[in-house]
């Protein structure tokens, strides 16, 4: 993950990566088949690790859904410029235009985030914490909002800071979930 994030997939050779991880480029190709598949599997592994934390946060049903939604957003956003997980996402998004295999892999990796968000929104709406909300449509909007703030943070655009982005997200969520 660090090698892909540091060099980007375009500059990374299987031979170079093999040297970094102590195996031949041929072995990597044998196990993964292609650089695209290596990228998808690395992202899948990364998201499984983060998914454990997400499920932990969302599983605390004694905590208000609104608080857990803020924690979901906090987990979603990159830590800062060059965040390795987000570098992988940006690589996958760019390569998803080129083929169905990448696009299908991307959708499969994104699906748990979406499904968990829909469930949280339904729970919060049912408990009266949020106004009446179409959880599916709201989840699409919220994830687009999170992606929109995450990308500039991950690539290090000047003036875009994580803390301010989280505050903007909270303000939009308050409006969206109040039925606005």
pLDDT in tens, 58-109: 999 999 999 999 999 999 999 999 898 998 898 888 888 878 888 999 999 9
Is residue 1's pLDDT more than 70?
no
List Cα–Cα distances, 56 to 27, 127, 142, in angstroms: 36, 20, 20
Q: How many CA atoms lie within 13 A of 54 on its CB side?
A: 22
pLDDT in tens, 27-52: 666 566 677 777 788 889 889 999 99
pLDDT in tens, 141-163: 999 999 999 999 999 999 999 99
Contact 12, 35 (CB under 8 A): yes
Q: Where does the pLDDT of residue 14 fall: very low under 50, low under 70, confident under 90, or very high at 90 and above?
A: low
How large is the greatest C-alpha to C-alpha distance in the chain, in angstroms? Answer: 57
Stretch 9-32: mean pLDDT, rounded?
Answer: 66
The predicted structure's pLDDT at residue 43: 86
Nearest residue to 3 via CA among 152, 23, 100: 23
CATH superfamily assigned to domain 35-177: Tetracycline Repressor, domain 2 (1.10.357.10)
């Amino acid at each position: 993950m660090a090698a892909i994030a540091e060099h980007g997939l375009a500059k990374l050779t299987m031979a170079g990566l093999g040297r970094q991880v102590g195996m031949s480029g041929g072995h990597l190709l044998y196990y993964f088949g292609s650089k695209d598949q290596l990228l998808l599997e690395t992202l899948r592994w990364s998201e499984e690790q983060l998914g454990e934390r997400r499920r932990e946060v969302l599983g605390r049903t004694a905590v208000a859904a609104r608080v857990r939604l803020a924690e979901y957003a906090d987990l979603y956003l990159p830590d800062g410029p060059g965040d390795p997980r987000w570098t992988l996402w940006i690589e996958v998004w760019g390569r998803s235009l080129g083929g169905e295999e990448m696009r299908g892999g991307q959708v499969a990796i994104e699906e748990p985030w979406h499904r968990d968000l829909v469930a949280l929104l339904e729970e919060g709406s049912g408990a009266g914490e949020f106004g009446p909300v179409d959880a599916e449509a709201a989840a699409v909007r919220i994830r687009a909002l999170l992606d929109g703030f995450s990308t500039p943070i991950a690539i290090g655009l000047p003036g875009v800071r994580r803390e301010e982005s989280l505050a903007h997200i909270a303000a939009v969520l308050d409006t969206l979930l109040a039925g606005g």
